[in-house]
A and B are shown apart, each in its own frame.
Chain A
Amino acid sequence: GAVVSQHPSRVICKSGTSVKIECRSLDFQATTMFWYRQFPKQSLMLMATSNEGSKATYEQGVEKDKFLINHASLTLSTLTVTSAHPEDSSFYICSASPALNYEQYFGPGTRLTVT
């Protein structure tokens, strides 16, 4: 089956620093990747949709200058949380979708803690 990896799986950083999270599709080419965030006991919320080679589309309420997304290749998308604050602490999950297929395959997630 399709495999999506994320790195790192867990990160602790200090307030004000930036953190980069990588999402890779290991055995398929992903024209579209999605970034989600999940706070404790809450549902997954879509942050942005990323298409290879173009700018990401952000959901309402998600600051594009704070959450920088780069989808430079068909197998890699990165999310950079800039100037992180404690309220950014959350579980960040990416998913990838192969071309011509609406199924999304999820990465294992990255747990971010900002102190």
Chain B
Amino acid sequence: RKEVEQDPGPFNVPEGATVAFNCTYSNSASQSFFWYRQDCRKEPKLLMSVYSSGNEDGRFTAQLNRASQYISLLIRDSKLSDSATYLCVVNLIRSQGNLIFGKGTKLSVKP
């Protein structure tokens, strides 16, 4: 079983749509959770951390369900500039440590 699993997509949505991505992780000892965004042929950039209580940053909402080992990202009012690959990332320890990346979910927002 892969450590971090995501639906690869692509998700093709019109501008203004709401889209949700899901991710599951296999190691119950995982401590930190993140969503990164990666544009084509570029490095990943941190979108947001994911907290147990759920958190929101503008149009983006992240949720964590530790019992189900499940993480989600909701994007409201999609913009063309949201087109990218969204990477679910977990870290086994709170301090410096390696990040385990999912393969990513590709989102394409159309006019």
Chain A interface (Cβ < 8 Å from any Cβ of B) = 31-32, 34, 41-46, 49, 59, 91, 93, 97, 101-104, 106-109, 111
Interface size class of B (residues with CB under 8 A): 20 to 34
Partner among B91, B93, B95, B101 whose Cβ is within 8 Å of the Cβ of A43: B101
Is B98 among interface residues, defined by CB-CB distance under 8 A? yes
Partner among B43, B93, B103 whose Cβ is within 8 Å of the Cβ of A42: B103
Give chain A residues whose Cβ lies under 8 Å from the Cβ of B99.
Answer: 34, 44, 46, 104
Q: Which of A45, A102, A109, A111 has the most CB of B within 10 A?
A: A102
Give chain B residues whose Cβ lies under 8 Å from the Cβ of A109.
Answer: 41-43
Partner among A41, A103, A106 whose Cβ is within 8 Å of the Cβ of B44: A106
A111/B96 in contact, CB under 8 A: no
